[in-house]
Amino acid sequence: MAGVVLETLSWKKLIFLGVALLVLLVTFFLVGGLVAPNPTNFVHVIGTTCLNKGGNRNLTDWYIPREKGACSKVDIQDIEHIEHEKVRANQVVFSFWLPHPREGEQLDFSRWQQFLIGVLQLDISYDERVELIDGSTLTLDTRIGYRDKEDDPLAWKLLAESLEERKLNCFLPKKEKDYQYDCEMLSFFELGSLHHDYYLVNIRVPVDSYTGINMDIGKLNDIHLVAIYQNGGFTKVWVSIKSVMFPLIIAVLVWFWRRIRMLARPPNLLERTLFALGIAMSVLNCPLEYLTLAFNMPYMLLITDIRQGYFYAMLLSFWIIFTGEHIMDKTERNKLVLYWKHLLAVAIGCFCLLLFELTERGVQLTNPFFSIWVTSIGAKLALSFIIIAGIAAAGYFFFLCYMIFLVFRNISTKKQALPAMSGSRRLYYMGLIYRFKFLMLLTLVCSALTVVFFILSQLGEGQWMGEPPSIRYTSAFFTGVYGMWNVYVFGLLSLYAPSHKQFEPQTTGSDENSREEEVQLTYLPSSSEGGSVLQNFVAKVAED
């Protein structure tokens, strides 16, 4: 009686494989916790106020805070000084040079840092002459430029420019002169790659009494820019993990499919789904990040999100089919159409994720200042989507737990047929049941950690859009969950490949009942022909 490797592998080899995979999984967690730095880091830069003497928007001049003659500094906090010097608000330019110098040394960005996200924090003080009106709109005239080390210090090139509006949500604890408003952070820009060494941000806050632009934003003292980027050290660890696991998953995937093609039957539903999961894992593992070291790829974040969404879709679909195929009742389940309701729900959820990413990061390819969070409707929609996605992920997990409960209950019911078997046959099936239950428990643990990882990543997506960050997931959890996916897929491809071994029950010539039992048990229903021995056994008992 043929089966899968999980059922025919000796206990010694199975324990060795399990220990090896466990050591690999622990290694992923240790690498993240002991070697890799935090996944992201940020720098806090206070804008340098430069004077634009003409007052009009200049599309060629850059205001550079640390270059002589490129920025005539002015103190806008001293209103009397500004009035005395006849400096108008339209003449003030807030300038930010990224990255910020540290201990007198000018740092530069590395292409390993992958992306750059900018968030604004405003210092607005109370002044009865220019009160801030609740819900007012802040208009920003913004430009982002870049240059590399070998370029002339004044030769900044334009990357993007836009006239942007942001809604202010501020609270005044005490209505006293010069008392600071407590304002929410404002999303500013997102760059999908860090291909250049330096970036320069110039912001003007134009004031026009005729159109009412920026007439009700209060007394603006300073603008702070918080720049978030991925740590280069973490990227190196992350890409190293991908570089190791990519060929390993490809190798076991090819071996698995060769075993399938050697059979005299077409692959069943579970085998096809597992093969598709292996392809999705390989797509996610492919270390495309190496290309960003040579090419400017601002669309890399979008590609990464699409790849991860594709993997989520396949993983969630596989768990539904995997547990459904092992419920093993009288229903013929080797048909994809039987799971259309479950798979449709997964497809709709993943499509919504894709639509959200295309709306946000797709538009940012042409306008990095765009954000769905800038309007009240967009912010509510985005926040609602994150909440719904978290609830849906939790609901999926509980539904999967229910399906696994049905699998365990049905197997426990079918175990009543074991006492009537011969000793060798009974021990064989008991071993299969123990192996399978352990694998289902691992599936449950993997699904739980995946749901937690998904919810935390969704919360982190919007964490910088309203308040200072309070939620952190460490590098150990990040690399550990990613390693868990690889170990889980590697283990399934190895253990659910068709085995070349045959189980031959031992019977005695005088034991007619045992011989009749073996003849009955070797009967395999056509719907599950070639599947696992345990699945065929329980399906046969269910029919009897």
Per-residue pLDDT of 247-269, as tens digits, reads: 999 999 999 999 988 888 888 88
Topology match between the domains 5-39+233-543 and 41-230: no
The answer to whether the CB of 271 falls within 8 A of the CB of 260 is yes
Distances, alpha carbon 229 to alpha carbons 292, 454, 490, in Å = 15, 20, 32
Q: Please report the pLDDT score of residue 520 as a whole number.
A: 38
Q: What is the pLDDT of residue 1?
A: 40
Domain regions of the chain by residue span: 5-39+233-543, 41-230
| Residue partners of 522: CB distance under 8 A and separation at least 6 | 1
Query: Residue 436: in which H helix or E strand, if any?
Result: helix 423-463
pLDDT at residue 521, as a whole number: 39
- The H or E element that residue 92 is part of is strand 92-98
The CATH class of 41-230 is mainly beta
Query: What is the model's pLDDT at position 129?
Result: 79
- Tell me the three-class secondary structure of 273-323, residue by residue: HHHHHHHHHHHHHCCHHHHHHCCCCCCHHHHHHHHHHHHHHHHHHHHHHHH
Low-confidence spans in the chain with pLDDT less than 50? 1, 79-81, 83-84, 464, 466-472, 503-530, 541-544
Q: What is the pTM of this model?
A: 0.83
Confidence (pLDDT) at 272: 92
Helix (H, G, I), strand (E, B) or coil at 334: coil
Residue 122 tokens, joined: 């405003």
pLDDT, averaged across the chain: 80
Give whole-number Cα distances, 197 to 38, 106, 118, 201, in Å. 22, 11, 16, 14
Closest by Cα among 307, 305, 299 to 279: 307
**CA dist., res. 382 & res. 376, Å (int):** 10
Strand partners, 228: 42, 117
| Structure-token match 């769905």, residue found | 372
* Count of CB atoms situated within 10 Å of the CB of 377: 8
- Per-residue burial over 485-503, b if 16 or more Cβ lie within 10 Å, else e, is bbbbbbbbbbbbbbbeeeb
Query: Residue 536 and residue 544: Cα distance in Å, rounded?
Result: 12
Write the DSSP symbol of residue 360: I
Q: Which two tokens stand for residue 182?
A: 């407590």
Say if residues 63 and 18 touch (Cβ distance below 8 Å): no
What is 5-39+233-543's CATH number? 1.20.1070
